[in-house]
Amino acid sequence: MHIESVSCIDDLRRAALARIPRFAYTFLAGGAGNDAGVRRNEQELARLLFAPVGMATGRVDTSVRLFGRTYAQPFGFAPVGMANLAWAGCDLMLAETAQRESLPYVISTAASTELEELAARAPDNCWFQLYMLRDDELNFALLDRVAAAGIEVLAVTVDTPVRSRRNGSIRERFEQPFQPHPRFVLDVARHPRWALRTARAGMPNLMNYSRYVEGGDIHKVAAFMKAQSRGGVSWDDIAMLRRRWKGPLVVKGILDAADATRAAREGADAVWVSNHGGRQLESAPATISVLPAVREAVGTLPVLFDSGVRGGEDIVKAGALGATMAFCGRAPIFGAAAFGAAGVAKAHAVLADEVRTTLAQIGCRRFADLSPAFIHRGEPGQGERGRAAPAARAA
């Protein structure tokens, strides 16, 4: 497929599947168990229909004001660990696109490029996602690096108490500690462009941890991570981070209204509705199904959203049900795997155009004006509109 023929994110996904080794695609695209949670996120978003209000409009405003900044689009790039498996340099491509297009880009603790280098490429748009370690001194050292790099927004992930079982990666034998095997070698050999690019750049490593591990190779870093597993994040941990971190603090991995309320009480500046893209608990609810209750619980506090976003209509649906901003993980990764930096730019362009077109079609001039009234609540053809919005969203 030529990039000019790409019409949607699924086109990028299919091109990525053809271009990179199967083990890499499975790691990046797969989820917990047999991927039922990944499919549920997508299916529940697809099930929602719009209720266009009034006459369609041609001019729309897609900008979002959040944490004192104005972003050009109501979506950002979600944190993705080991993104350079998709294509060497993927992390940098994401950061550079985010800076150029005025989107938030959330650096993963498990990124395959050091946070300092990424922050330098996107000085106005980088956030940082934290996996808390067992050793708080290491957590504090990492936070000091984040602050020194000029990153203002911290998102702490709370939905990874243990490592999940991802059957696709188990079948591909791409598990830690990883050991090369004949099928892996054959898989790489069948994708020479990926193999050559990766050989030149070096096999991806967990670069934000590597400086804390003598030798720093991937096997030692993986063992370090396993030993440093915190086994869950407590509310005391959130309170500690709130005292330590001076900028906006986001609690990521919320699926329950009571947890959202508690996060706000502990001083969170936003809550992030997420089930880790279906990668942690296979039978977790679809995030779009819990979003309205979380929005109602926290009032005007910003609510971020991810998991299952594969197009601009999904972003607008999330906005209508209370999301201040949506985040995409797999979409730009598919772009990088399919066409490198041009593919990341294509993923952004597709999503941005779909958001603009959708807002125009449903008669909403500003993303910030979306409400449940734009969601169809009856059977097709019945014309029943959504209920009134539970609360206005914070700017």
The 10s digit of each residue's pLDDT in 322-359 is: 999 999 999 999 999 999 999 999 999 999 999 999 99
- 281: pLDDT strictly greater than 70: yes
The mean pLDDT value of the chain amounts to 92
Q: In 10 A of CB 21, how many CB atoms?
A: 21
Q: What is residue 81's predicted lDDT score, i.e. its pLDDT?
A: 93
Q: What is residue 169's predicted lDDT score, i.e. its pLDDT?
A: 86
The full set of domain ranges for the chain reads: 3-376
Q: What is residue 180's predicted lDDT score, i.e. its pLDDT?
A: 74
193 annotated as a binding-site residue: no
Q: What is residue 383's predicted lDDT score, i.e. its pLDDT?
A: 46
CA 300 to chain centre: 22
The 10s digit of each residue's pLDDT in 106-154 is: 999 999 999 999 999 999 999 999 999 999 999 999 999 999 999 999 9
Q: What is residue 56's predicted lDDT score, i.e. its pLDDT?
A: 67
Prediction pTM value: 0.93
69 annotated as a binding-site residue: no
Q: What is residue 149's predicted lDDT score, i.e. its pLDDT?
A: 98
Q: Of the given ranges (195-204, 252-261, 330-339), which has the lowest mean pLDDT? A: 195-204
pLDDT tier, 389 (very low <50, low <70, confident <90, very high otherwise):
very low
Q: Which residue has the tokens 């050989």?
A: 199
Identify the bridge partners of residue 375 per DSSP, sorted by sequence position. 50
- HEC profile for the chain? CCHHHCCCHHHHHHHHHHHCCHHHHHHHHCCCECCHHHHHHHHHHHHCEECCCCCCCCCCECCEEECCEEECCCEEECCCCCHHHCCCCHHHHHHHHHHHHCCCEEEECCCCCCHHHHHHHCCCCEEEEECCECCHHHHHHHHHHHHHCCCCEEEEECCCCCCCCEHHHHHCCCCCCCCCCHHHHHHHHCCHHHHHHHHHHCCCCCHHHHCCCCCCCHHHHHHHHHHCECCCCCHHHHHHHHHHCCCCEEEEEECCHHHHHHHHHCCCCEEEECCHHHCCCCCCCCHHHHHHHHHHHHCCCCEEECCCCCCHHHHHHHHHCCCCEEEECHHHHHHHHHHCHHHHHHHHHHHHHHHHHHHHHHCCCEHHHCCHHHEECCCCCCCCECCCCCCCCCC
- 96: pLDDT strictly greater than 90: yes
Q: What is residue 379's predicted lDDT score, i.e. its pLDDT?
A: 56
- 255: pLDDT strictly greater than 50: yes
169 annotated as a binding-site residue: no
73 annotated as a binding-site residue: no
244 annotated as a binding-site residue: no
81 annotated as a binding-site residue: yes
106 annotated as a binding-site residue: no
The 10s digit of each residue's pLDDT in 372-385 is: 999 998 654 444 55
209 annotated as a binding-site residue: no
Q: Which CATH number fits domain 3-376: 1.20.58.100, 3.40.50.300, 3.20.20.70, 3.40.190.10?
A: 3.20.20.70
Selected residue with higher pLDDT from 68 and 387: 68
Report the DSSP pairing between strands 303-305 and 75-77.
Answer: unpaired
What phi-psi label fits residue 49: left (phi over 0), alpha (psi between -120 and 50 degrees) or beta? beta
80 annotated as a binding-site residue: yes
Q: What is residue 385's predicted lDDT score, i.e. its pLDDT?
A: 57
Q: What is residue 218's predicted lDDT score, i.e. its pLDDT?
A: 80
CA angle at 89 for the pair 65 and 226, rounded to the nearest 5°? 85
Report the DSSP pairing between strands 153-157 and 49-50.
Answer: unpaired
Single-letter code of the amino acid located at 224: F
79 annotated as a binding-site residue: yes
Show which residues are catalytic: 276
The 10s digit of each residue's pLDDT in 70-95 is: 999 999 999 999 999 999 999 999 99
Selected residue with higher pLDDT from 223 and 40: 40
